[in-house]
Structure 1
Amino acid sequence: MAEHTSYVEESFERDTKYIEDRIVRDPSGDGQWPVEAGRYRLVVARACPWANRALIVRRLLGLEDAISLGMAGPVHDASSWTFDLDPGEVDPVLGVPRLKDAYEKRFPGYPKGITVPAIVDVPSGGVVTNDFPQMTLDLSTEWTAHHRDGAPDLFPEAHRDEILEVADSFYEDVNNGVYKCGFAGSQKSYDRAYTRLFERLDQLSERLENQRYLVGDTITEADVRLWTTLARFDAVYHGHFKTNRSKLTEMPVLWAYARDLFQTPGFGDTQDFVQIKQHYYATHLDINPTGVVPLGPDETVWATPHHREQLGGRPFGDGTPPGPVSEAETVPAEHNRALALLAG
């Protein structure tokens, strides 16, 4: 997402006041929109970890035909993500060059950050919601009529409280913690964020040492939320955000866990390492003034054996893996060489 932030005592503070409208099966009031296949467009950027969550969930559940996908480029300007990857630099469905146009179509003069993921109502051209934590939960629970046959239950009712508790436990220290390190305005705030980040990662390592997934024996929303941060750790956060006590590859349990998910359909096949690095290093010029984008690290290590299957577990529960990625949504081979190794 485009960071809409402020500094309080020189600490990074994320503005989490999102558009809280929801798309639900039975809308009953203001702020509720009807589930309707073909009506909405999910706008993401492959670089963004928050948008990556929605990409993964949409693919695992098989919602590609029900919710179309708009793809912003990796490097946005000060006010908006742009559709510079599309012909003419215009989204072919929404007909606009900037995501900001969809926000202002509904909220003229929208004063907050233009963030991804965002779901846009195609008929009106206006944004419906950018509330990314609720968005993926609703894809799992409100869009069930449009799930593919064999779609996994990513938010099983019996484990919902635990899933949210676990996810909440690492949101501030890990998902947001890497940003607190990278955008710290003082040594004190950086030190605090750095310490909390690695304390929480160590706790997660302990939790995952003898169980394959965070909650229960299947992949859930909690795994999706943690994984998108881990996937960017060595490529971006370790160097660019100074989270350099350890690389992910130097944390054995988390590294094996992350590779296990990478090699699971729906996770690694959504990763564009080139765009990830372009976004952070070429957009955050206050941190990286030259805009130089590093060539490393070598992403082919994501294809190495992880041996996590020895812990048991059933990745998709009673469901099945998603099918091949459509040609239109396939990550270029040169942007994720690990996938070619796994396929070969």
Structure 2
Amino acid sequence: GGSAVNRYRFPSAPFGHSPDYGVGPDMQEDGAERLYKVRIRQRVVNFGASVVIQSPGSLIDVWALGSKDENDVQGYVGTPVNINPITPGFRLPIGAAGAQFPVPGTYYLAVDSGRDEFTGRSLAGSYRLRHWVNDVRKPKVRVLTTRVAAGRPTIAIQVSDAGAGPDPYSLAYNYGRVLLGAAAYDPASGIALFPVPAGAPRLAAGRPRVFFRASDYQEAKNANSYNKELTPNTRFHQPRLRVVRGATITWLTPAARGCVPRSARLLVVASATRKLGAVRFFDGKRQLRVVKRNVAGLYGYTWRTRGAKRGIHRLRAVVRAGGQRAEATRIVRVCR
């Protein structure tokens, strides 16, 4: 369909002013917008919607409106921008909007897109929208790489949230005096990766306590706190890692004991105190593939399951690094 709206307000410039400051428009939301109706039947703390998946090259915006009027944006919380100044993603466009302490009634969520400010390219595309009401819970964080090699291993965690959904810009990992943001996040599995750059200090062998931070999209919309906590939608997790002088390997995907599709992505992350070699993938005793290349310790292979027997399969991944060796097992099911 066509575009009936190219500007939302108030506020009128949530993304900031145009590059030529005053000559061009502050926004040009000329995508084919779609309107969703939300009915709030009783008093709630918040509601909203976030774009959790969008097609490559697109940038989808969500606006929370009090009526079918683009001039009825529900304040800064109703814009697709992080408005919480104590979060890492403050003022970034995050594709989430909502309202805090809304009165019962009918609201609207407008999903739209704009253009690249410098090239004029359309940022429209496909998307998956997630809606929430009354999100007052923190995300859950689970460390996947609980055992890693000394040095600069890639750390993997899994983040889940039943409400607004995890905000990728909020994900952080701290050890010693080093603070790192997530380099990659998969919204389907909730897995986030923290590769450690070469200039950062090494992890020494032992049981160091590390620190993870994860917020959901509602935290980015919290113009006010609603309980005694300053960040009520943020999880602070402080586990201990087991850091060893040897090789380690951890399965990331597929999910344990889950059904695998016809093309299953096998992904592991390995670390060692010596140079990493190849990883061998097995289905039971049968070798599937030898993968020699890795990126930040990540090894991947697409397993075609069409010829595999139905039922339980025991996948193994084996890595060697000099005289070091590590193996990890993952039980999955072929369910077709």
| TM-score band w.r.t. shorter chain | under 0.3
* TM-score, structure 1 as length reference: 0.23
* Higher alpha-carbon Rg: 2
TM-score by length of 2: 0.24
More strand per residue: 2
